[in-house]
Structure formats: structure tokens, C-alpha cells
Amino acid sequence: MTVRVAIAGAAGRMGRVLIKTLHETPGLMVTVATEMAGSNLLGCDAGELAGIGAIGTPLRANLHDLVAEFDVLIDFTTPAATQHHLALCHNAARRMVIGTTGLSPDLHQQLARAAQDIAIVAAPNMSIGVNLCFKLLDIAARVMGQESDIEIIEAHHRHKIDAPSGTALKMGDIIATALGRDLAEVAVYGRHGHTGVRDRHTIGFETIRAGDVVGEHSVWFVVDGERIEITHKASHRINFANGAARAANWIAQQKCGLFDMQDVLGLRDTSLRFGE
């Protein structure tokens, strides 16, 4: 069965790579591509924008009128647009793959409520490598986290509008959970001025925004005499798009529920054993 996919934000950095990737992925067909109302690219062929030649799918603005034309919506846009798309997909019983970051706690709750009726994959990072790093971070935190100073450093391109990255926040949450801490209580976002000595229980976040950096995350676990660094460097957005394509094929088989890439990749129940 071919899964009909709508791509929201099709002219964006991720949107263009998604068009190309999905067009080349067996089992998926890009039937809808949307952009913001008022965009001067409306009407352009999505394939032309993605550099693969015409695919017969023009950029359109009103997703509301297009719900009969897709099975799964892939959303890499903005939190406001994602919220709007969530309501539409919920009403029309359409599945979703959400990559947008910077979602508010309230929007996360709306996702969970909608997922009682529709199937949603929402993940701040669709890369397989980053999702493997999430597992490694859980192990590192359990093995040496209580004795370590933990710092999460991330770098992205100058156009990124949210900080820290959704991935960095997820990394912090995984580490805090493994250590029995509440991230909201222990997170320290950057430092400036007279900070006092470092509190061992805190988890630090440092953000770099520069040039065209695709996305880099590094987590340090530092004890006296040694330092572990768990690092992921994305060199092209194709890795996120491949993950989103995999998620679209996977979510098409689910009836309802809120999932992430750990579910899509079958990592949810994988226990990586140590110390045996």
C-alpha cells in the first residue's frame, strides 16, 4: 500500500530535503505540499523547489481543504503552525510525524490528548545516530552521572529560532530521569557574571548559533581525572529526512498513540547492559 504524505513547510530547509527524500522512498508518495499563506512560492512545483524536477505537486496554503488528499502529515514548521495542523489532523483523523521543536508544555499536552484518537510520532531529532546517543547517555548517566559534572553543548545555524535545541533538552531530560532529578529544577542555561562554584547536581546547557552549522550536540560527563564526551555531528539534513520517512511508513501502521523515534527504531525496550 502506498502511503500518501503531506509535507507542511515544504519550502523550508527541512521541507526541501523531505520532498526529495520522500519522493525516493518506496511506499511513500508526496501528494500535498504546503507553505504559509502569502508565500510567493505558492503554486510552484514542490519537486522543482527541491531540485529534483517537477513531481506534479504544487505548493498550496490551506491544509484544511486538502485533508482528503493525504494519510500522514509531516510537519517541520513552527510551534504555532504545528498547533494549527494538530487540530486539523485530529478533526480529520489523519496521522502525523512532527519534527518541529520549541513546542510549549501546553502544546505537548495537546499532542498527548489528540493521540488518544490519532497516531503521532513527535521527536526533536529524527536522526538514527542521535537516537542511539540517547541510549548511550542513559547508560553514561547511570554509570557515572551522580559523580559527574554534566554539560550539554549544542551548535546550530544562525537561522535557528529556539534555544536550547529540542535535542539538547531531550538529552537533558534523559540524563535527569536516569539520575532521579527533575530537569526543570537542575538545568542551568548559560553562565555569566559571579556564578559561584558549580553545584554537582546541575546540568548545564551551552548554545552556539553560527553560520550554516547543521546541528551538533556534545554531552560531557566530567569527574576528577577523566572526561567522557558523547558527541553527534549532523553534516546534512538528509539524516533527519530519512528518519522522518521511516517514521511516516511506521506511523501509517498505527491506529493511535503518541510515539517517538525510539518506538520507530525499535529501541524503546532495548536494554543495553553494562557491568556484567
Ligand X SMILES: NC(=O)C1=CN([C@@H]2O[C@H](COP(=O)(O)OP(=O)(O)OC[C@H]3O[C@@H](n4cnc5c(N)ncnc54)[C@H](O)[C@@H]3O)[C@@H](O)[C@H]2O)C=CC1
Runs of H (alpha helix) within 115-237? 128-144, 166-178, 183-186
Does the annotation list 46 as a binding residue? no
Does the annotation list 178 as a binding residue? no
Output 34 or 101, the one with its CB closest to ligand LZUJQKHR. 101
209 binding partner (options ligand LZUJQKHR, ligand X, none; Cβ < 5 to 8 Å by kind): none
User: Any catalytic annotation for residue 156?
Assistant: yes
List contacts with ligand LZUJQKHR (CB under 6 A).
Answer: 101, 124-125, 156, 160, 165-167, 215
User: Any catalytic annotation for residue 160?
Assistant: yes
List contacts with ligand X (CB under 6 A).
Answer: 8-9, 11-15, 34-36, 76-78, 81, 84, 99-102, 123-126, 166, 240
How far is 102 from 100, CA to CA, in rounded Å? 7
The strand order across the sheet containing 203-209 reads 187-189, 203-209, 149-156, 215-223, 226-234
Neighbours of 170 (CB within 10 A): 23
Does the annotation list 102 as a binding residue? no
- List the catalytic residue out of 20, 90, 156, 170: 156
- The β-bridge relationship of strands 95-98 and 3-8 is unpaired
Residue number of the CB closest to ligand X reads: 12
Q: Are residues 190 and 202 in contact, defined by beta-carbon separation less than 8 angstroms?
A: no
Does the annotation list 99 as a binding residue? yes
How far is 215 from 209, CA to CA, in rounded Å? 10
For residue 80, what is the enclosing H or E element? helix 79-92
Residues marked as binding for (S)-2,3,4,5-tetrahydrodipicolinate? 157, 166-167
Q: Which residues are tagged catalytic?
A: 156, 160
Residues marked as binding? 9-14, 99-101, 123-126, 157, 166-167
